[in-house]
Structure 1
Amino acid sequence: MPAERRKRLLATVHRVIRTDPSRVAPTQALPVIDDTVSAKILDLAMRVGDAMFAVGASAHEVTFAITRITDAYHLHGVQVDVTYNSITASHHRGDDDARPITLLRVVRAASPDHAKLQRLQALTVEIVEGLELDAARAAFREIRRTPFLYRPSVVVLSRALLAVGVALMFDASPIIVLLSFVAALCAALAQAGLARLRVPSFFSQIAGAFVTTIVALVVAALGTAGIEPFVDIRPSIIVASGIVLMLAGLTVVGAAQDAIDGFALTAGGRILDLTLQTIGVVLGILIGLEFARVLGFGITTPIDAIPFGPLPVQLGGAAIVAIAVALFNGAGLRTIVVSAVLGLIAIVGYDGMLRLGVHESAASAVGALLASFAGTLVAHRFHVPSVAVTTAAIVPLVPGLSVFRGLLGLMQSDGTADALLVGIGPLISAAAIGIALAAGASLGLYLGTPVRATLTSVTRSRARVRR
């Protein structure tokens, strides 16, 4: 082989294996932003992220929003760290003499407000599309001052309405539906009063569960005494409705999403908070049952789990539950409608899996997966927060009755292995369903995100072709 040909062959192999520095595009000059403007950009991004985190956004969504805002104003390379109750952002321009700008914000309160979250997401989009910095800061101040969408009385009534939806899903009689509403209303009023007194939510959960249990025990005592119309009714449904009410506001989806996204501290904090709130519900029920035992009356432990009613009844109850959850989370009309539809999708998927002989926990995961996947696809199109509609859709599948059956079985056990299994079995089943709901909802979010991006890209391509 001639020497010249060997050189060309070696040069070709070299180009295939290694990059050619001469072919790399030169680094573009970044716009020079002074410290004052940089601080304003970081401050705006941090405030938007703080507000989003406080009203229910995940750590990943907050991080993404902050970096989108800073990149939109040509402040690139910002490092963001989100933990359970604080957000830190730092920017270093890379010059040896330039000092980094670092800001820290503490998230002092976390209360879902999905209407405000929707407006914050819309503001982020406007900033990316070219909204000026001063106009963005003014728009954020307006959003921050926006009060909660509904009055406290509407929030309390919507929480009581949730119990009605749960009772309907069990195909309960009208008297049980009414009693479930009364018990949930009393619990919601008790929790609202404690919230005004700034009592920690852990004790508020105990109080709400205790009130619900006492109402159910009173109903059971009246039925045992032969007083109409309380004879032959199932007070366990009343407590189950109250348990779903107590657990409806927990950030199960957010905690699972943060754990999968790699935000270990945030996920750990949310999981610990979720665990404490659940323990509060358990303690409230146990205190109520012990109080009734001391007074000499109680509730008979159901031998078998009470199944949901016919599919049309389930759909009606699930829609009411989803609407109620959206209401007390401060959602607007569009989000409420989407939440109701996704709640129906979750029940259809759940019921379909049960008809195929799938275990209840796996069926719950499939229902949550379908609702979450569909919610991710429609959330961007209808300009609603995906976390809002997903949370509302999976609440009808929360295993309130299994929790109560397990606790009641443990309280009334005689210490033998068989008696303990009567209580432990339903609790294990409830835990499995809870994990399945979180996993299914998180998986739906992750499967739906790339599909949504692909559909959006195809839609834009077709629009460009038409033009």
Structure 2
Amino acid sequence: MSENRELNLTLDFCLRVGEVLLSSGAGAADVTATMLSLARALGFWQAECDITFTSLEMSHQTSPDEPPVIATRQVKQRVIDYQHLTRVDHLVRDVLREDLDLRQARAELGRIVSTGHDRPRWAVTGAWAAMSAGVAMQLGGDAAVVVLALLSAVTIDRLQLRMAKRRMPAFYQQVAGAGAATLIAAAAAASPLSIDVSLVITANIVMLLAGVGFMGGLQDALTGFYITAGARLTEAILATAGIIAGVSGGLSLANVVGVQIPEIDPGRVDIQSVGLMIVGSALAAAAFAFASYSPGRILAPIAGIAAVAMGISTSLAQPGLGRAWSVGTAAFFVGLVAFAVAGRMRVPPLVVVVSAIVPMLPGISIYRGLTLLAEGGRRDSSEGLLAMVTAASVAIALAAGVILGEYVAQPLKREAQKLEVRLSGPRLVGPVRVRSRRPGSSAQTSRRGRSRARAEDADDGSTGATGVTGDDGAGSPAQPG
């Protein structure tokens, strides 16, 4: 193909890869490094890219006396989809290893984004229900609390799914989900049943918080992408505000009709409750990963990491260490081990860290702050504001702890002098070190030679015919797990 046509196709391919990564929650630094690595591996070393929260732009200028070629792409939707994220991550690595040329890579990317998931939507709803049940178990709820949290989660997921099909903004979806959870709990409180409905509301708050991208926003801020960080944090704050509005509205309506919903009080933690917390956190983390279409092979490691992290957080909180510091230390452990675990299981570290910290999201602090604010007294209002500030500090501690763990883990994994220095920050998506060659080398020649060899193998019935490695190590299209 001509050089201009190949340049246009390369820029378009890099932009499409960046769109998938950015919409799945990858940091702007990771997306930038991945796009530049692909362009340089395909022979265009003068490529540059610019990323905002809603658009990507990539340009290439061969020499100063020639006009640059500029391509842009809009990020149309933002859905956590770790199946597509993992497959695209594998595709990037295949291109950088020169196992795929541009034509093959574009064809495989088209298959990835156009192929549906390997699990039905009702199974995803069941996973959200299992996640809420795990959080309720983690909070010490009995069987009735677990069942009610499960049923509330099903209602919330189906309600938000219907609203999403009508293209309702995420803020209103969060308001509706939190309001539905609170009203269901209020109905249960008005019934003769003896249920601690405060635990049900808290479990559903954690479910709604699970998709909020605080970590991506903080990662962008720490790595110097302040515009993208500001947009992501604004989106996260708006989504959290929707949860607060929904819960507070439900609590106010319950007070009007005379239904009292108690304030949650975690109380003393004994050995038995610690065991339930660990089991519940493992279930919640694995269920969230399943609901986000993570490959099946990573679910058990995520559950184990989340269980250990919850044990660390609980043990540190007992001697009197502040909650933000205890969960921050546990999140540091998650970031520290996620890099090695993700490498062994062939998934991006982002899949592991986001799923493993879900059980430690500050649902308790948010609910406690809202119930105190709803009571209206001066002392209650002060304690309520303090609880809300604690919730914000816990969210920041989780994101900062994970990123710090990644900073430490990646230099320990390899030699410090080989660190990528062009872009600051650890890599949560994409290869850590890129092996590419300058234009004029034998890279394209060897790549075409490998393609011809694979085609000859295909004619002979060889197992390596496609040259594309998916989640399960087989030919494309691959299915995770």
User: Same fold by TM-score, threshold 0.5 exceeded?
Assistant: yes
The corresponding residue for 1:3 is: none
Which amino acid in the other structure matches residue 318 of structure 1? S
**1:45-444 paired onto structure 2 within 5 Å:** 45-96=14-65, 98-130=66-98, 131-222=100-191, 227=192, 230-231=193-194, 233-302=195-264, 304-306=265-267, 310-414=273-377, 416=378, 418-444=379-405
Q: 1:216 to 1:273 in 2, by over 3 A?
A: same
Which amino acid in the other structure matches residue 344 of structure 1? A
How far apart are the structure 2 equivalents of 1:181 and 1:214? 15
How far apart are the structure 1 equivalents of 2:149 and 2:110? 41
How far apart are the structure 2 equivalents of 1:326 and 1:34? 42
Gaps of 5+ in 1: 1-31, 458-467
Which amino acid in the other structure matches residue 85 of structure 2? L
CA contact (8 A) 2:182 2:247 kept: yes
Out of 365-374 and 50-59, give the one that drifted further: 50-59
**1:39-50 paired onto structure 2 within 5 Å:** 39-50=8-19
SS in 1 for 2:71: strand
CA deviation string 1:244-291 (max 9, x = no partner)? 011011112111111111111111111000001000000001111121
TM value normalised by structure 1: 0.85
How far apart are the structure 1 equivalents of 2:206 and 2:50? 33
How far apart are the structure 1 equivalents of 2:384 and 2:246? 17
Which amino acid in the other structure matches residue 321 of structure 2? V
CA contact (8 A) 2:139 2:266 kept: no
How far apart are the structure 2 equivalents of 1:446 and 1:112? 24
How far apart are the structure 2 equivalents of 1:354 and 1:292? 33
Q: How many residues align?
A: 415
SS in 1 for 2:70: strand
How far apart are the structure 2 equivalents of 1:441 and 1:54? 20
Which amino acid in the other structure matches residue 374 of structure 1? V
More helix by share: 1
SS in 2 for 1:310: helix
The corresponding residue for 2:6 is: 37
Which amino acid in the other structure matches residue 365 of structure 2? S
Q: 1:300 to 1:337 in 2, by over 3 A?
A: closer
CA contact (8 A) 1:170 1:306 kept: no
SS in 1 for 2:414: helix
SS in 1 for 2:357: helix
Q: Which has the bigger relative contact order, CA under 8 A and spacing at least 6?
A: 2
How far apart are the structure 2 equivalents of 1:94 and 1:353? 58
Q: How far is the alpha carbon of 1:419 from its aligned partner?
A: 2.6
How far apart are the structure 2 equivalents of 1:328 and 1:269? 25
CA deviation string 1:358-392 (max 9, x = no partner)? 21110000111101111122212321111111011
How far apart are the structure 2 equivalents of 1:421 and 1:307? 24
CA deviation string 1:306-347 (max 9, x = no partner)? 466632211110111111110111101122222212212211
Which amino acid in the other structure matches residue 284 of structure 1? G
Q: How far is the alpha carbon of 1:167 from its aligned partner?
A: 1.0
Q: How far is the alpha carbon of 1:356 from its aligned partner?
A: 4.1
CA contact (8 A) 1:342 1:371 kept: yes
CA contact (8 A) 1:205 1:284 kept: yes
Gaps of 5+ in 2: 419-481
Q: How far is the alpha carbon of 1:299 from its aligned partner?
A: 1.2
How far apart are the structure 2 equivalents of 1:253 and 1:419? 30
CA contact (8 A) 2:156 2:180 kept: yes
Q: How far is the alpha carbon of 1:453 from its aligned partner?
A: 3.0
Which amino acid in the other structure matches residue 240 of structure 1? T
Q: How far is the alpha carbon of 1:300 from its aligned partner?
A: 2.9
Q: Could you tell me the percent identity over the aligned residues?
A: 29
Q: How far is the alpha carbon of 1:122 from its aligned partner?
A: 0.7
How far apart are the structure 1 equivalents of 2:225 and 2:88? 22
How far apart are the structure 1 equivalents of 2:134 and 2:315? 20
Q: How far is the alpha carbon of 1:102 from its aligned partner?
A: 0.8
Out of 446-455 and 391-400, give the one that drifted further: 446-455
Superposition RMSD in Å:
1.9
CA contact (8 A) 1:170 1:307 kept: no
CA deviation string 1:20-44 (max 9, x = no partner)? xxxxxxxxxxxx9822221121111
SS in 1 for 2:73: strand
How far apart are the structure 2 equivalents of 1:46 and 1:379? 25
TM value normalised by structure 2: 0.83
CA deviation string 1:160-186 (max 9, x = no partner)? 111111111122111111111112222
How far apart are the structure 2 equivalents of 1:443 and 1:160? 31
Structure number with bigger Rg: 1
Q: 1:307 to 1:258 in 2, by over 3 A?
A: farther
How far apart are the structure 2 equivalents of 1:117 and 1:155? 17
1:453 to 2:414 alignment: yes
